[in-house]
């Protein structure tokens, strides 16, 4: 083991207590060990939005180290030790995802008569599946484990690699990556401009796991001298202070200037996702949107006359806008001569027979569309990254036989768009459209086609499925981090909130809170030059990971 009982009597009281806790964790077995892991992982959810308490991640990461110490010191053969690490990592991850993603259950209760029976699948099944990623991370860390301070970096390397895999495998789901513990704070989040979310993940794990070494033998000597800074805890504090100083310097210039001549209006209808959102209610819904959009918000904004771009959220209509000319005419009637509407809308496309479909057929896309004063749809963008089970049903041939279907009422679900594109909106610089959770993927929001640098990220979403839970706050926090990574402002329209205008430093200039109906008027912040991460979205976080794993091997050789 990395500790010994005689050490307890030689340390101050607090360290003696810490050592006793560590020994309890390392020596626990069976269900007691699993419950410790599950409870520790669950505590990490407090580091995510809306709570955003960064120190809450210290307990799960510290206990993760001690759990792996127990796997390493149990006298097991190598294969058995790896299996033990994998198993305890699964319980740790299950606790984390269960506590941080419980709000997904709200979507199953929107149409409870159809989906309530599937509630355990979303609330328990998804966390159980996602837990295999930290389980893999624990096993990878165990492969390069050593009894000294290097094991902190081994955990950072193994667990951050599994987080990267979680963000890419099976179409990817990087929701609440551990790096959001740093990314949720505006000051420490600034380093995402250099290393992105996955680089912050490596740093978060290493910083928060460092207190696990306080039980090690050499710490007593370090605390009796002036060389505490050379211990893992001292180094972690220095790194954290460095992140804070970097962020403070980056934020020092103050308010970002606005682009001249642009007046934005975001409409947040706070429309319930229930039986009322049906085609027969389409005219009433559209009338409400138009009435709300043309309201006065103060002396400077008396209606749509001075608005250059009106923005509505994702999936705004219970009908196909492009096939409803009367709706387009009504929209055109309220727009001013120099204004346009950017809105979420389902798009329909008729396709001829092909080898997969012997008859002509219709497909549907979740789209962003631009409507001008003439009622003409100028541009469309089709969502590329669809939500499994929400917008399409994986393995639909099999699952349909079990009575399953996607949440969105589209025959066969949505089709995915072919690629990310730039959206050309009159009156705006080039726009990067992001529908719903497309905004949570670091390094994968920008079009791959080279050309003029975009002027903003436009995120249209509908979090009304999740009510007043933690989900919409987490979604907004992740979308906000993209502004820092890319150096672009964010304009966000959400059906039920949180709608906002965010500058390229991640500062929220104005917002409409969750569960509120209303309008948000504002200007467009100017973009920044592309930060390091925007130039090197894969290389910069990889270098942080490479440093962590290289240093873990160096420490391993010194033991």
127, two tokens: 């966390």
Which string of DSSP letters, residue by residue, matches 470-490?
HHHHHHHHHHHHHHHHHT--E
Helices (H), 262-345: 282-293, 325-334
Residue 132's Cα: distance from chain center in Å? 19
Helices (H), 144-294: 150-166, 180-183, 192-209, 217-223, 232-251, 282-293
Instruction: Give the active site residue among 391, 436, 438, 511.
Output: 436
Does residue 314 carry a catalytic annotation? Answer: yes
187, two tokens: 């000051």
Euclidean distance between CA atoms 197 and 192, whole angstroms: 6
Closest CA to 311 of 428, 477, 437: 428
Residue 541's Cα: distance from chain center in Å? 17
148, two tokens: 């000294």
Q: What is the DSSP letter of 487?
A: T
Instruction: Give the active site residue among 23, 383, 391, 485.
Output: 383
The DSSP bridge partners found for residue 370 are 342, 379
Euclidean distance between CA atoms 267 and 341, whole angstroms: 11
The answer to whether residues 475 and 103 touch, using CB atoms and an 8 Å cutoff, is: no
Instruction: Give the active site residue among 314, 415, 438, 511.
Output: 314
Euclidean distance between CA atoms 376 and 361, whole angstroms: 25
The DSSP bridge partners found for residue 508 are 502
5, two tokens: 């009982």
Does residue 383 carry a catalytic annotation? Answer: yes
Residue with tokens 């419950």: 35
Euclidean distance between CA atoms 287 and 517, whole angstroms: 15
Q: What is the DSSP letter of 386?
A: P
The answer to whether residues 58 and 232 touch, using CB atoms and an 8 Å cutoff, is: no
Catalytically annotated residues? 314, 383, 436
């Amino acid at each position: 083991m990395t500790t010994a009982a005689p050490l307890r009597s030689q340390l101050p009281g607090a360290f003696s207590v810490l050592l006793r806790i560590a020994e309890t964790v390392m020596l626990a077995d069976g269900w007691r060990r699993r419950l410790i892991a599950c409870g520790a992982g669950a505590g990490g959810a407090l580091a995510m939005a809306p709570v955003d308490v960064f120190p809450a991640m210290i307990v799960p990461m510290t206990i993760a180290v001690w759990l792996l110490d127990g796997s390493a010191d149990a006298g097991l053969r190598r294969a058995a030790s790896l299996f033990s690490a994998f198993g305890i990592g699964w319980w740790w991850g299950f606790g984390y995802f269960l506590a941080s993603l419980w709000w997904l259950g709200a979507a199953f209760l929107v149409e409870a008569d159809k989906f309530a029976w599937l509630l355990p699948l979303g609330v328990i099944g998804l966390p159980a599946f996602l837990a295999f990623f930290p389980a893999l991370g624990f096993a990878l860390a165990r492969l390069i484990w050593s009894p000294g301070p290097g094991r902190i970096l081994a955990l950072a390397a193994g667990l951050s690699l599994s987080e990267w895999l979680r963000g890419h495998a099976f179409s990817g789901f990087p929701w609440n990556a551990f790096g959001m513990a740093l990314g949720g704070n505006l000051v420490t989040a600034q380093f995402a401009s250099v290393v992105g979310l996955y680089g912050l993940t490596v740093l978060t794990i290493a910083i928060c796991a460092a207190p696990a070494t306080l039980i090690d033998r050499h710490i007593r000597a370090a605390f009796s001298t002036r060389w505490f800074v050379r211990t893992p805890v001292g180094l972690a504090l220095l790194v954290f202070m460095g992140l804070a100083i970097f962020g403070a310097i980056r934020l020092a210039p103050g308010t970002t200037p606005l682009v001249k001549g642009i007046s934005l209006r975001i409409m947040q209808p706070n429309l319930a996702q229930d039986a009322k959102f049906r085609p027969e209610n389409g005219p009433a819904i559209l009338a409400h949107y138009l009435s709300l959009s043309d309201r006065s918000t103060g002396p400077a904004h008396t209606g749509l006359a001075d608005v250059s771009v009106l923005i509505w959220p994702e999936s705004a209509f219970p009908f196909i806008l492009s096939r409803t000319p009367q709706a387009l005419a009504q929209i055109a009637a309220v727009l001013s001569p120099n204004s346009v509407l950017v809105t979420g809308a389902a798009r329909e496309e008729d396709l001829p027979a092909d080898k997969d479909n012997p008859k002509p057929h219709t497909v549907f896309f979740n789209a962003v569309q631009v409507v001008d004063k003439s009622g003409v749809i100028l541009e469309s963008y089709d969502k590329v990254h669809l939500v499994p089970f929400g917008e399409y049903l994986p393995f639909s041939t099999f699952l349909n036989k079990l009575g399953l279907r996607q949440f969105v009422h589209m025959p066969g679900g949505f089709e995915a768009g072919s690629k990310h594109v730039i959206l050309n909106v009159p009156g705006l610089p080039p726009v990067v459209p992001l529908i719903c959770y497309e905004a949570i993927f670091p390094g994968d929001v920008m079009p791959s086609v080279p050309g003029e640098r975009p002027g903003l990220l436009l995120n249209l979403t509908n979090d009304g499925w999740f009510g007043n839970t933690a989900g919409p706050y987490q979604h907004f926090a992740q979308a906000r981090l993209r502004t820092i990574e890319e150096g672009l402002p964010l304009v966000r329209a959400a059906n039920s909130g949180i709608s906002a205008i965010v500058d390229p430093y991640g500062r929220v200039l104005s917002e409409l809170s969750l569960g509120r109906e209303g309008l948000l008027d504002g200007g467009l912040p100017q973009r920044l030059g592309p930060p390091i991460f925007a130039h090197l979205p894969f290389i910069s976080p990889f270098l942080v990971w490479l440093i962590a794993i290289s240093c873990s091997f160096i420490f391993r050789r010194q033991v």
